[in-house]
C-alpha cells in the first residue's frame, strides 16, 4: 500500500511546511511530493521524489523529460507524469512572461530567454521567436528537435507560424550540444535561406543565434549572425 503524505510525521509533511514556513523551505524532493500526494507501495511521496531526482540527476533534466520517460519511473503513471509535465511548462512560461512586456533587441536578451534551458539539452533544438512591431514577444515555438546531423530548418514551416501569429519579425535560435556555438556551413546556409524567405514576405529576419555552453573563458556562450554582420 502506498504511503500517503498525511501518514508521515507532522514535521515531515511538505504541505504543512509550506503553510508554516513557505515553499522556499522545501527540498526538491518535498516539492515533488506535494504534486504526487502519494508514493508507491512501501514508499512515501517524498521518497519517490528523492528517487526521481536521483534517476534524472536534477530537476532541470527532469523538466526536459517526455511523459513517456517520466512514466519509466516506478510509481509514476500517466496522470502523475502529465501533471509534472504541466508544472514544468508552467515554470517555463512564467520565466518567459517578462519578455511579453519588454522588447527583445539584443542577443543577450535572447540568451536570457532561452540560454539556460537550451544549454541543458543533449539534442539539437530549433526555436523560433516571433515578435511584434515593437520587438515584444508574441509566440515562442520549437520547430525541430533531433540529432546534430539532421537538416533542421524549413523556411516555409517557420513562415507559416510567423504569418499565423501576425509577426513583424522573427529570430531563429538553435543550440549546439557540443557546447561550441561556432556556426557550421549548414548554419550559414540556413541563415541565407531564412533571410531570402523573410524578405519575400515582408517579415524582418532579425537574427539567427546559436546557443553553446558558458565556459570559464571570455568567449560568449552564443553566436549571433547579426553581430557578426551576416544578417
Residue 218: predicted pLDDT:
57
CB 73 within 8 A of CB 51: yes
Burial degree of 2 (CB within 10 A; 0-12, 13-18, 19+): middle
Whose CA is closest to 173, among 218, 141, 203, 133?
141
Task: Determine the distance from the C-alpha atom of residue 138 to the mean position of all C-alpha atoms in its chain, rounded to a whole number.
Answer: 17
Place of cell 536578451: 109
Per residue in 115-161, pLDDT (tens digit) is: 888 887 878 899 999 999 999 999 999 888 876 555 566 788 899 99
- Residue 229 belongs to a domain: no
Give me the domain span that covers residue 90. 2-94
State how far Cα 102 lies from the chain centre: 20
The model's pTM is 0.67
Q: Looking at residue 84, which CATH number applies to its domain?
A: 1.10.150.20
pLDDT of residue 152: 61
Give the pLDDT score at 63: 83
Q: Are residues 46 and 134 in the same domain?
A: no
In a domain, 230, yes or no: no
Does residue 162 sit in the same domain as residue 178?
yes
Report CA Rg, the chain.
21
In a domain, 231, yes or no: no
Q: Residue 128 is part of a domain; what is its CATH number?
A: 3.40.140.10
Mean pLDDT by 10 residues, the chain (231 residues): 50 69 81 77 80 87 86 89 86 75 91 86 89 93 72 80 95 92 92 95 97 70 95 91
Amino acid at each position: 500500500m502506498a504511503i500517503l503524505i498525511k501518514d508521515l510525521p507532522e514535521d515531515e509533511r511538505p504541505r504543512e511546511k509550506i503553510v508554516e514556513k513557505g515553499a522556499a523551505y522545501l527540498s526538491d524532493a518535498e516539492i515533488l511530493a506535494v504534486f504526487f500526494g502519494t508514493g508507491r507501495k512501501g514508499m512515501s511521496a517524498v521518497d519517490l521524489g528523492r528517487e526521481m531526482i536521483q534517476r534524472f540527476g536534477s530537476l532541470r533534466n527532469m523538466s526536459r523529460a517526455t511523459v513517456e520517460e517520466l512514466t519509466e519511473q516506478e510509481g509514476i503513471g500517466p496522470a502523475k507524469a502529465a501533471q509534472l509535465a504541466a508544472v514544468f511548462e508552467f515554470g517555463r512560461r512564467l520565466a518567459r512572461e517578462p519578455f511579453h512586456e519588454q522588447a527583445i533587441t539584443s542577443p543577450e536578451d535572447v540568451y536570457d530567454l532561452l540560454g539556460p534551458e537550451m544549454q541543458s539539452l543533449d539534442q539539437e533544438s530549433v526555436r523560433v521567436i516571433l515578435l511584434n512591431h515593437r520587438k515584444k514577444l508574441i509566440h515562442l515555438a520549437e520547430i525541430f528537435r533531433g540529432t546534430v546531423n539532421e537538416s533542421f530548418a524549413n523556411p516555409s514551416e517557420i513562415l507559416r507560424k510567423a504569418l499565423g501569429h501576425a509577426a513583424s519579425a522573427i529570430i531563429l535560435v538553435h543550440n549546439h550540444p557540443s557546447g561550441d556555438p561556432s556556426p557550421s556551413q549548414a548554419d550559414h546556409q540556413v541563415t541565407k535561406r531564412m533571410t531570402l524567405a523573410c524578405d519575400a514576405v515582408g517579415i524582418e529576419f532579425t537574427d539567427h543565434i546559436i546557443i553553446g555552453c558558458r565556459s570559464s573563458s571570455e568567449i560568449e556562450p552564443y553566436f549571433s549572425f547579426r553581430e557578426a554582420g551576416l544578417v
